[in-house]
Structures are given as C-alpha cells and as structure tokens.
Amino acid sequence: MDFSAYNSSDVRLLSAAHSEAMGLVRRASGHSLSEVETSAVSTRLVNNLMKTHDSGERDPKALKRAALQGIFA
C-alpha cells in the first residue's frame, strides 16, 4: 500500500463519509453488528475511501458511494 498524507480537512471529509456509510450499513443490516462484523466492514469502507480519495475524489456523496462499493454484494 502506498503512503498517503492527509491534512485535517481531508481527515474530516473521510471521517464524515465513513461515519455516514457505516450508519447506512448498520441500518441496512437489520441486526446489531458484532464487533468482528463492524471491524471487517469498517476496514473495507476505509480501504475504499482511501483509494477513491487518493485518486482525486473530494465530493462527499461520491466518497460515501465509493466507500459502500461491494459492501452489500
């Protein structure tokens, strides 16, 4: 994995997108996620977010959509 530096506005943007995406996953699951499930989903969301952000995307809605890519498959 390449190293990427994120400034404070990037971190806020990514954090908000992660939080919104995680909330959607929790609501859509229909049950309370276990610690293992939460960790696995969060890791996937973060990987998707970082990859998309590093490619230049800065739109919050597009980042949230990208974070959720493959989560419900």
Per-residue pLDDT of 6-49, as tens digits, reads 899 999 999 999 999 999 999 999 999 999 999 999 999 999 99
Residue 72 confidence class, pLDDT cut points 50, 70, 90: confident
Residue 2 in any domain: the answer is no
Instruction: Please give the residue range of the domain that contains residue 26.
Output: 8-67
Note whether residue 1 is domain-resident: no
pTM listed for this prediction: 0.89
In a domain, 43, yes or no: yes
In a domain, 60, yes or no: yes
Average pLDDT value for residue range 56-71: 96
Q: What angle do CA 8, 11, 59 make, to 5 degrees?
A: 110
pLDDT of residue 57: 96
DSSP 8-state code for residue 4: -
Total of domains in the chain: 1
What per-residue confidence (pLDDT) applies to 42?
A: 98
Rounded to the nearest 5 percent, the helix, strand and coil shares of the chain are: 70, 0, 30
